[in-house]
A = this chain, B = another copy of it.
Amino acid sequence: MRIPVDRDGPTPIWRQVAAALRTEILSGALPPGARLPSTRRLAADLSVSRILVENAYAELAADGLVEGRPGSGTFVAGAAPGRPVSTAPVDEVSFRGVGDPDLYPVKAMTNTIRDVVRRDGSAVLGYGAEVSGHPPLRATIAQMLASQGIHVDPRDVLITSGSQQGLALVFFALLRRGDPVVVERPTYDGALELLANLGAEVIGVDVDRDGMRVDQLADIVSRHRPRLIYTVPTFQNPTGASLAGDRRRRLLEIAESVDAVVVEDDFVGDLHYDGPTQPALRSLASPGRVVYLGTFSKLLMPSVRVGYLVADREPMERFVSMKRSLDLSTSLLMQVALDRYLAVGRYQAHLARCARLYRPRRDALVAAVRRDLGWDVSPPTGGLFLWARLPSGLGSGALADAAEKRGTGLAAGAPFFPDGVGGERFARLNFVVNGPERMREGVRRLQLAVEDLHGPAQR
């Protein structure tokens, strides 16, 4: 406890101590039920006689601010407040979020964490030997990627604290303020916020049902000479579109022609519902062209906070230094537990289960949105998101506010567009997060929200 004490001033020390504590208590910083340090310890901390601290506590007790409990110490008067975990109200049905929390493999991961701590003890509670991440996990991820046709050396894998950190690492390491960056329009809002924080110049390329309009790209790169091209080629966020095979090859050629690095954000590329997925850009590209980002947060559980990036030797050194600068290391405990979970094939089984359950949810939401809301949607072949074009006159910002009042939620379109332009006509709905009944209830509330804005005639 550090209370500034003026030893030479006119106010007695015990009054200074009492005044400092009184301020804390009245402001709520020391809430009811909080325990004060023992008089012995506080006296030692402040290098004052214990009797002075006892005087201070006695004054506070006389004011009714603290109470002594025999045998256990001195406490701020009143009951201790409860500390529930704050979550969304039980009855909110949101179309935001990532995976369905009811499918998180809670028990398996908790048991794995417990087993790892039992087996390895404090060895897994430190920082870990390598900033790049736990070597066995990197090997397991390399193996998992190999089974997806992406050939990587485990040394080219860097463990990140979620794929958002992967993005931050790459952008901060490779970009300077004012550098031009090409992105899809619309694209992941978190990438746009990061680029804004960095002060990069953001240039959008339109997206259609086959992904980025690569036909616009050649002209744009020759004019702007971007250092980076950021793309979510598979089950894009927010549109759900997948970049067609010929466009993938053309994108890489164009990047090659101006020596731009392609940042491939494959956040849910392994969650597909209708037949094969296009090969990753990383598997088609020549060495050094593509930095690949993956994550376990979306489908396993966000609290794991483990993602990864794949890059070649040269930029990797800069990424490792930036990783150390951003957070020293990703939790070793989580890395070891995740490696255990992955290595026995549980993640593949979990993915397969998610895909089985999520596919009919997609179909149901697509049907309901068309039938009950009359919105225009193209069903994506994988991933999490449905991108809806709203009827004319219905703005997504106002809709999101109205939806919140009705106990539901969706993502308004504007944050997915550079400068927000063009987003008002669109909204993003997560189709995996709710089971059938909650989904129906959510759509009903969206109907009500639309009526709140336009009256029942709108339907």
Contact = CB atoms under 8 A, between A and B. Distances in A.
A279 to B, nearest CB: 4
Interface stretch (A320-328, A417-425, A450-458): A320-328
Interface string A74-109: 000000000111111000000001100110101001
Given A86-B135, A177-B177, A302-B127, A146 B328 contact: no
Interface string A443-455: 0000000000000
A396 interface: no
A176 B98 CA distance: 34
Contact of A125 (B3, B106, B165, B326): B106
A88 to B, nearest CB: 7
A193 B321 contact: yes
A121 to B, nearest CB: 6
A4 interface: yes
Contact of A149 (B20, B88, B147, B162): B20
A343 interface: yes
B117 A190 contact: no
Contacts of A190: 324-325, 328
A90 B329 CA distance: 22
Given A122-B301, A301-B126, A332-B303, A29 B153 contact: yes
A327 B260 CA distance: 25
A305 B276 contact: no
A3 B164 contact: no
A185 interface: no
A11 interface: no
A47 B275 contact: yes
Contacts of A45: 276-277
A445 B23 CA distance: 53
Contacts of A165: 326-327
A365 interface: no
Interface in A208-265: none
A268 B327 CA distance: 17
A279 B3 contact: yes
A302 B327 CA distance: 11
Contacts of A139: 31
Q: How many copies does the complex hold?
A: 2
Interface string A181-202: 0000000001001100101000
Given A125-B104, A172-B172, A4 B164 contact: no
Interface in A46-67: 46-47
B177 A197 contact: no
A336 B114 contact: no
A115 B265 CA distance: 35
Nearest to A322: B197
A149 B303 contact: no
A3 B278 CA distance: 9
Contacts of A153: 27, 29
Contact of A324 (B46, B102, B193): B193
Interface stretch (A34-42, A356-364, A401-409): A34-42
A24 to B, nearest CB: 4
Interface string A303-321: 1110000000000000001
Nearest to A45: B276
A369 to B, nearest CB: 24
Nearest to A43: B276
A389 interface: no
A142 interface: yes
A136 interface: yes
Interface of A: 1-4, 20, 23-24, 27, 29-31, 34-37, 44-47, 83-88, 97-98, 101-102, 104, 106, 109-110, 113-114, 117, 120-127, 129, 134-136, 139, 142-143, 145-153, 161-162, 164-165, 168, 172-173, 176-177, 190, 193-194, 197, 199, 269, 275-280, 283-284, 297, 301-305, 321-322, 324-334, 336, 339, 343, 345
**Across chains A and B, which 6 residue pairs bring their CB atoms closest together, nearest first?**
A101-B122, A194-B325, A29-B146, A303-B333, A3-B149, A125-B301
6 contacts: A27-B153, A35-B345, A44-B276, A84-B136, A85-B136, A122-B301
